[in-house]
Amino acid sequence: MLNALRRIIGGEVRPVDLWLPVIEILVLLLIAIEVGWAMKDRFVAWRKRKRYERNIAARLAALNPQESEALKAMLINGSQPGLTITGRPALEGFLERDFVGWRVRAEYAEVLREWAER
C-alpha cells in the first residue's frame, strides 16, 4: 500500500496503483458496515429482552401475595399449586396443565426462576 501511494505521489502511476487504495477502502468500509450491523442486532435483541422482562415483572407485580407464594413454591420446590390458585386468570398465562399436573410454560421458565430466587 505504501509503495502504491509513493508511486501515485511520485508520478509513476500504474493502473493497479490507482485501484489498490480504492479496493482497500471498500473492504474496510464493508468490515465497518458488518460491525455496525452486528452492534445494531445486539442492541435490538437486548431492548426486546428488557421489554419482555418489564412486561413479565408488571404481570408478577399484579399477583396477590397468595398467588405469588404459590408460584414461588412451585418454581423452587416443585410443589403443585392448590386448586384455588390454578383457576386464577393472573396465573393462567404462566402455567399450563399436562398429564401429571401444573407446570410453568417454557417461555416463562427462565425469567420466573430468577424472580422466585430473589
Closest CA to 94 of 117, 79, 72, 66: 72
CB 86 within 8 A of CB 102: yes
Give the model's pLDDT for residue 84. Answer: 60
Grid-cell match 501515485, residue found:
8
pLDDT in tens, the chain (118 residues): 677 777 777 777 777 777 888 899 999 999 999 999 999 999 999 999 999 889 888 888 888 888 888 888 888 887 777 656 655 666 777 788 778 777 888 888 888 888 888 8
Q: Quick one: pLDDT at residue 87?
A: 59
Residue 60 CA to its chain's centroid (Å):
20
pLDDT value for 27: 97
